[in-house]
């Protein structure tokens, strides 16, 4: 699963994000030992401040719109890395319809590889002939509990490492979701070392307008 998110309202301001969720992995310990749960293998963000950790307290986190901004490396074991994003259209104003199509390009930061070569590019086309509909992950037959292993520290100071495993639950909901078609640009290739080598999104997906994300306080344990 691949998610592209444009955050408009977070404790650290607006920013963009590319999330890579390759699937379920068997949990080696803790209360979920032996079970399979989803894992985020990599996140690229356009704002440096979000890579280290979130802001605010857990009591605030549950009431802030677009809460993935609060998920950082230190408390949630989310392997965030900095990248540069380009969109073919500006952010959508509240209550406005989506563009006919939106091309998203994600580039490595200036000091990593060739900053002019995207490692991911896709064109998203909402199905305008179909009506929007409310959607919540609580209604879907998908377990939205994520289990993240400890992560190593990166070269930059904000890319901190962790020692414990952590699990948390994510709830996403919106009043307006749309079916969309996805066309992946196969010419976009990874350049810098350590970036995700191959991204092949499905040819269809779901476009969420003004969505919210609620994230629980993580549980942690040592392996």
Rounded average pLDDT per 10-residue block, the chain, 223 residues: 82 81 90 93 81 39 34 75 90 82 87 72 90 92 92 75 90 91 76 55 85 85 84
Structure tokens of 189? 């290739």
Note the pLDDT of residue 2: 87
Q: Cα–Cα distance between 3 and 32 in angstroms, integer?
A: 25
**Intra-chain end-to-end CA distance of the chain, in Å:** 27
**Tokens 């719109």 sit at which residue?**
65
Residue 6's alpha-carbon distances to 25, 33, 129, 147, 171, in angstroms, are 27, 34, 24, 24, 17
Note the pLDDT of residue 65: 34
Q: Read off the pTM.
A: 0.82
Note the pLDDT of residue 69: 35
What are the respective helix, strand and coil percentages of the chain, to the nearest 5? 10, 40, 55
Note the pLDDT of residue 195: 55
Note the pLDDT of residue 58: 30
Q: For the chain, list the domains and their CATH numbers.
A: 2-221 (2.40.400)
Query: Which segments of 32-107 are extended strands (E)?
Result: 36-39, 42-45, 80-82, 84-87, 102-107
Q: Cα–Cα distance between 126 and 131 in angstroms, integer?
A: 10
């Amino acid at each position: 699963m691949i998610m592209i998110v444009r955050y408009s309202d977070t404790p650290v301001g607006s920013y963009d994000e590319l999330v890579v969720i390759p699937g379920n992995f068997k949990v080696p310990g803790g209360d979920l030992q032996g079970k399979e749960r989803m894992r985020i293998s990599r996140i690229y963000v356009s704002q440096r401040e979000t890579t280290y950790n979130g802001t605010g307290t857990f009591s605030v986190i549950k009431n802030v719109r677009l809460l993935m901004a609060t998920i950082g490396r230190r408390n949630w074991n989310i392997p965030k890395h900095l990248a540069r994003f380009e969109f073919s259209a500006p952010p959508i104003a509240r209550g406005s319809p989506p563009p006919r199509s939106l091309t998203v390009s994600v580039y490595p930061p200036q000091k990593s590889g060739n900053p002019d070569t995207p490692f991911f590019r896709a064109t998203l086309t909402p199905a305008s002939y179909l009506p929007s509909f409310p959607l919540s992950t609580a209604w879907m037959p998908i377990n939205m509990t994520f289990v993240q292993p400890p992560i190593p520290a990166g070269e930059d100071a904000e890319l901190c490492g962790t020692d414990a495993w952590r699990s948390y639950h994510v709830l996403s909901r919106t009043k307006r979701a749309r079916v969309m078609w996805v066309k992946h640009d196969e010419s976009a290739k990874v350049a810098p070392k350590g970036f995700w080598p191959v991204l092949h999104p499905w040819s269809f997906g779901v476009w969420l307008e003004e969505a919210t994300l609620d994230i629980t306080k993580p549980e942690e344990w040592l392996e």
